[in-house]
Amino acid sequence: MTENIEKISKIIPFFSILILFSSIIRNFIFYQYFGININEYIGLSEFTLLFINDLAFYLISVLSFLIYLPFIYIKDYFRKKYGEEILRFTNTKKIAKTVMVLAVINSILIFIIDFPLDIQLYFLQTFIIAFFASLLLWLDKSIEFSKKYSLIFISSLLIIFPILKAFTDINNIKNEKPYNEIIFNYNNKQIQSNRSFLFLGKTNEYLFLYNKSTKYTEVFKMSEISNLKIKKI
């Protein structure tokens, strides 16, 4: 048991680095589309917090892995204790088959139903995780097989879905559907975001608004901004 805990604890730093890496890629893709090299506007201390905006994605991915692993260990324990010939887990395979079918059907339905793109992405991620976990149960391989491919799968999710989220956010901005509205004073003038002047995001030192009419991104220094108000739409 102690050995297993040590193995899991070694995975945590790996996940941390992977999450940081995927967050950097996600932010780079998003801001680069609007003509901003985000690396020029962000401090080193902020890099470790880039994942905050996509926290739900990372929690779903990592928690699904942490929830699934104990089941693998419990399954392996009972097989070693009572014998593989006795415990074939036939009911588990039936349940896994059902979940796999439902996951595929639901993945198709979310693109038919008119959900917002970011909500579709959340659902798709959940269904893909459910499908993969059920596939491992249905294959009913050894614990090493499950551990190996679970790690590869979750690692892939941690890279792929934040990148997809970047393109989803870009699409929302292009379709005049930002996540937040913003009002602030700058050089004795009140500036407010709207359908043609869209709030992209901010760092500790800069704030970015995209002018859809001119196709330019305007950069404001936070040190020169006052009475900043942000409202989630």
Residues 211 and 161 in one domain: no
191 backbone dihedrals φ, ψ, rounded to 5°? -120, 130
Residues 93 and 206 in one domain: no
12-48: per-residue pLDDT in tens?
Answer: 787 778 888 888 888 899 999 999 998 888 876 777 7
Residues 169 and 185 in one domain: no
Final residue of a structural domain among 175, 191, 218: 175
Residues 196 and 83 in one domain: no
Q: What is the pTM of this model?
A: 0.74
Residues 142 and 63 in one domain: yes
> Domain span at residue 5?
1-175
| Most confident listed range (8-12, 120-124, 151-155, 184-188) | 184-188
Total tally of structural domains belonging to the chain:
2
Residues forming a β-bridge with 189: 186
207-231: per-residue pLDDT in tens?
Answer: 999 999 888 999 999 999 999 998 8
Query: By C-alpha distance, which of 65, 167, 182 is closest to 118?
Result: 167
